[in-house]
Structure 1
């Protein structure tokens, strides 16, 4: 692969989880803001037990190892699709096959985003391009800009809306690339082919699309930004039933402003990808803790409102793969970007995923294809007085 591809392959995750690469002050917090709404959830004690979701783990491993087309990726968002299908939306993706010994061929195709469609009977991989020359669902621009995906949402007339993070190469060095804009892809709801790409608000440097929460005609859009070394969540919304394509306003700590510059942080120490969903009579945020370097902690916070304030962290799970003392015994391996899949929740049983990657992007990801794949965790959560 060329140099750009190598950077995007192994080092995409470095950018995506960059919040764990810088130690933040222990007393950092989101700005004070007024409480919105009342609920009993924030006064309850959360406890959790968690274990590997073996059926989903086996399903994706089998699919990857039997030549289905997808062999590993990150981001791991999901969305119910027409016909009872589930779309699993991924950013940087390896295609092709896996060798009998579990390694990945060095000439494996690589694209910056893809979708695995799961039905009751089968799984299939959706990309752009052709079978012989696959491309991303949203391919790179002619000038080399490429896209990672955010949390998809249901759009008008059965379409699928996918927030995008655009990245641009700005120099000749290995690390000379970075986020340059937020954009929105609209896909056909049946075929998942690309219909259009349009601009999203990008003036303030907030990476919008970490999560979307649809509630009737209102869509909340979550994004992240580093503030004094602390990766913090921000919230925008549309209320016109157009999803991410509607008119955006931004939570400023007191109300909703038309100016993106007024958006304030609502929670510190989140990862680039996290989730916010209704739970009991309140809301549940799930994220990887980024207050410590290369954190293995997946945590939950509660609120009475989708805009916070969010309470103290409660640990749900510790990822076992990270570092020299992890399950791979490899100092280069790390985990990142945990979030829930609320549409798969069964009562108090939650499905949480996170991603695994390695800093050795020319060795490990080829020597052991299992490293660069999502992990699936069942979390049994309880909220007691």
Structure 2
């Protein structure tokens, strides 16, 4: 009995200490960040081109050394991936005949600066030598008319340094506001050392496309945060966090998996708002009002910044502060008003995100995309409109 009493007393002491620690823990500030922001004309001009690749959206950047959480070294290669891309020439202030839109393309930049001589764009070609998408769906669930738009990607240092990229299978449809629909989620695996157009890649259908009880469609791959020591994460827990977006509310879902298990989809878990669970159907919405592409970046003070276009297609680049990679997240902090870029009423803005491997210490280089509701007509008048624009968010040394 004495032994039992001692154990009980010790348990009570530990429980009281834990309770006091939780009570006295300073709450994380999710509402404020001390920052300034300015345009990044060097990067804006870098992607203003008139030959070959002259436009695209969906930009993600993947440091091929696998170090995701800090600026790349001057000679480190960085893979840029784009979704719909314009290939051709701009002459006399308009698109020359023979231009073509393909559904995705890539570029390799050696280093972290916008130096044209160090950037090489690439795409595939068809049997006639015409430009063709780098990545074309070829999985068991693919329909002959499907094509890829690309999600985020990373170098998996636990699986042979292969590059993993999410591919959204998209199909043109006769219904809906935009004439297309996402119909499936896949994973593209590029072996280490492979060169564009990556004819040795592997493609896998994934289960990470869902329709929930309300009928909202969702998919994972909108953003990736590699929270590992090898990736340079400041507070690593060993997991890769993958963000999904669903519904017209642009709600964020979070999944995680160990890097070594990335292809073993049954080992993924999903955050239900309190715990990590196996059932994707139980995944919670951790925040909302984001865009279909986004980023999560560790801040110097231990918090996390989620960057996105507010509401999907508004004129504001937004940020939410998170206490952990899976929340809780604070309210929208408006970072940048994109309206000065909208020369025509038909222009629209979407899918902002940060690029840590291109960001100087204490800064976040952020991109957002410009497009048009009258795409070809406006491109003929403004042939350089369809390309990412960039801003620099500079964080005060105190952080908040």
TM, length-normalised to structure 1: 0.80
Does residue 143 (structure 1) correspond to residue 144 (structure 2)? The answer is yes
- Which shifted more, 126-135 or 152-161? 126-135
Asked if the contact 1:276/1:283 (under 8 Å) is kept, the reply is yes
Q: Which ranges of 4 or more aligned residues in structure 1 deviate by more than 3 Å?
A: 38-41, 169-177, 242-246
Compared CA separation, residues 305 and 352, structure 1 to 2 (3 A): same
Q: Aligned to 1:314, which of 322, 333, 347?
A: 333
Structure with more contact order per residue of length (Cα contacts < 8 Å, sep ≥ 6): 1
Compared CA separation, residues 313 and 107, structure 1 to 2 (3 A): same
Q: Aligned to 1:160, which of 158, 163, 168?
A: 163
- Which shifted more, 234-243 or 163-172? 163-172
For residue 169 of structure 1, report the CA deviation from its aligned partner. 3.4
For residue 39 of structure 1, report the CA deviation from its aligned partner. 7.3
- Which shifted more, 183-192 or 306-315? 183-192
Does residue 233 (structure 1) correspond to residue 252 (structure 2)? The answer is yes
Q: Aligned to 2:106, which of 107, 111, 115?
A: 115
- Which shifted more, 307-316 or 166-175? 166-175
- Report the 3-state secondary structure (helix = DSSP H, G, I; strand = E; otherwise coil) of the residue aligned with 1:362: helix
Asked if the contact 2:188/2:202 (under 8 Å) is kept, the reply is yes
For residue 231 of structure 1, report the CA deviation from its aligned partner. 1.2
Q: Which has the larger radius of gyration?
A: 2
For residue 132 of structure 1, report the CA deviation from its aligned partner. 2.0
For residue 122 of structure 1, report the CA deviation from its aligned partner. 2.1
Does residue 258 (structure 1) correspond to residue 278 (structure 2)? The answer is yes
Counterpart for residue 350 of structure 2: 336
Rounded to whole Å, the distance in 2 between the matches of 1:59 and 1:97 is 16
Asked if the contact 2:240/2:256 (under 8 Å) is kept, the reply is yes
Counterpart for residue 183 of structure 2: 180
Counterpart for residue 60 of structure 2: 77
Rounded to whole Å, the distance in 1 between the matches of 2:182 and 2:31 is 39
Q: Deviations 1:166-225 (Å, cap 9, x if unpaired)?
A: 112355899553111110111233314141110122233322110011112411110100
Q: Deviations 1:143-176 (Å, cap 9, x if unpaired)?
A: 1101100011113212211101111235589955
Q: Aligned to 1:374, which of 371, 375, 388?
A: 388
CA RMSD in angstroms, aligned pairs only: 2.5
Rounded to whole Å, the distance in 2 between the matches of 1:126 and 1:374 is 17
Rounded to whole Å, the distance in 2 between the matches of 1:237 and 1:256 is 8
Does residue 221 (structure 1) correspond to residue 235 (structure 2)? The answer is no
Q: Mapping of 1:265-280 within 5 angstroms?
A: 265-279=285-299, 280=301
Counterpart for residue 17 of structure 2: none
Does residue 210 (structure 1) correspond to residue 226 (structure 2)? The answer is no
Counterpart for residue 89 of structure 1: 81
For residue 114 of structure 1, report the CA deviation from its aligned partner. 0.7
Compared CA separation, residues 173 and 319, structure 1 to 2 (3 A): closer
Counterpart for residue 282 of structure 1: 303
Compared CA separation, residues 359 and 261, structure 1 to 2 (3 A): same
For residue 361 of structure 1, report the CA deviation from its aligned partner. 1.7
- Report the 3-state secondary structure (helix = DSSP H, G, I; strand = E; otherwise coil) of the residue aligned with 1:241: helix
Counterpart for residue 197 of structure 1: 203
Compared CA separation, residues 200 and 104, structure 1 to 2 (3 A): same
TM, length-normalised to structure 2: 0.77
